[in-house]
Structure 1
Amino acid sequence: MTAARSQLDRRDLAEAQGIIGTVGSAFSARVVGQDHLRESMLLALLAGGHLLLESVPGLAKTTAARVVAQSIDGSFRRIQCTPDLLPSDIIGTQIYEAATNSFVTVLGPVHANIVLLDEINRSSAKTQSAMLEAMEERQTTVAGVEHPIPDPFLVIATQNPVDQEGTYPLSEAQTDRFMLKEVVRYPSVEDEVEVIARMDAGLYNKDHSVPPVVGLPEIRRVQMLAGAVHMDTDLVRYASSLVSVTRTPERHLPTHLARLIEYGASPRATIAFCRTARALAVLRGRGHVIPQDIAHLAHRVLRHRLILGFQATTERVTPDTIVDAVLQAVRVP
């Protein structure tokens, strides 16, 4: 693997940047602003992970996911999560076909390249767990038969932080399987004006779809190139040290912050750092990772993996505040 990573040359980088830049341009042509959302979607796609989005309704999350799927010529499915949603509604089931006197397997909507789980915390824990095998193993099992999921595969789940009545918070095991968590902010006044202008121009009409700008083989090619980006051992140690601070905060953080952390991040956080840092290096035209890449990703990698106590809520201390302190506690190599 190390030998392969050293062979990433300028031609490979130019090819990867050209492919992913085309997808990014297609995104910006339909979605106004939301640069962080665009970057997080591209990073998750290149790193082969999944993305958790937190925002109030109406901030173009569905539009963004659909645009990315259309631009890469991939399949897209949107699943509206509700309390009565069943696991079989997601992964598929068997139905009886009278004409052939046999059962036929009908695969669920999770069998797509990009799947949007809208308001995932409104589905029951049993239904949420149905996604675990799909997200981790890239397959589903229906009636004892395994069915592979298309490649590339990206799950984008959304949560509404405002209306929590009748919701089922994601378990730590489920949350940890999301490589990144992005908090989508309100657009600026100028961005909202541009949205209205594009609506008046018919850009968001139902019959106005985004033509594919690249194909799935090109995306798989860029994923392979991203995995070949060089990451020095000292930088891997830097990422691991950031994660380690969250596990032993009493040794590294101020007392008033350390006492708010109940559980730190798992080894999946270090893996997420390494994979997304390589993807970020590709987006920025480099064949190697630098410390700033890791620091740039820290909030997105750690904010959903920190388990804070009740006192953090009463004191209005957010995970992002803890991550800021973690970054200050570790020396940059």
Structure 2
Amino acid sequence: MFTRFVCFALVALPAATRAAEPAAAKTPELPVLPKAVTSFGAVACDGYLYVYGGHAGKTHNYDTATVLGTFHRLKLDGGIKWEELPGGPSAQGLNLVAHGGKVYRVGGMQPRNKPGDPSDNHSLAECARFDPKTNKWEDLPALPAGRSSHDAVVAGNKLVVVGGWQMRGKGEKPAWSETVLILDLAAKDLKWESVPQPYQRRALTATAVGSKVYVIGGLGAEGKPTDVYDVDAKAWSTVPALPGDDKKSMAFSPSAATVGGRVVVNVAAGPVYRLNEAGDGWEKVGAAATPRVVARMIPLGPSTVALVGGTAPGAGTLATIEVVKLAEKGEPAAPAKQP
């Protein structure tokens, strides 16, 4: 079983973190991000929370000054100060994953226009991994084409990239991604494999349970079943669509993680849902005090998640990290109406 945001043995947080969450423990508090940011990468690895890049400007206004290439980490067990690490290319619309004690980043969108100039946005094909032991990035094989507004997970030893599109610069229409990309991290020679995907979506999220990758929400997913790809069986299936009457807000840029072997997702309206054990419905297990989109969800233990950054309606870009305690027993959520 794999949790997207936790490396270690890809299933468990460090012992110090587990021990810090008895039933009577206080909800942990985490310091704000180094900068209010949205559409960024985040992952927990070996007791640290890592964040990379993102957009720190006004919504839908992208330029070389507001899209970041910074890289920081925070010790999850009692950390009070973010540590700055070697950065890289400025990028938003990307994610980080962890495997074998290393942090991976894949693609992202990079504006090449200065503030005030016409937009010139390009999706990146770059892929790299960071080794905390050497404090250095290492280049990996590039994607077959630039990709942004996608998501990435690790299932077993495989890095899996889903959804997104390729932005091709000023005056050019973006090209929607039509394939899932898979990189076997255990292979001697690293090479991307392409698998056709049964959708064209971006602004989505994903998480993995065992060999199954759950592709959740995104523009174009309103009221539609959730797509699931089994990297071992090489087969697609579906589970129910996200619940809720406002299907558009349910689908746009949610955040998700695997917690206790179950898929957990936070949607724009604030509710936190969990896929039930049978996999045929969703249950409400919590809610965000500050509803947000384009954020990241990080598991902090068997029943607690952190909602990191993102954008809140009426409040703009956030630097806050909200910790949400998940209910042991969820409330069944009404199924979404099919489009």
Higher CA-based Rg: 1
TM-score (norm 2): 0.28
Q: Name the structure, 1 or 2, with higher relative contact order (CA <8 Å, separation 6+).
A: 1
TM-score (norm 1): 0.28
Q: Which has the higher strand share?
A: 2
Q: Which has the higher helix share?
A: 1
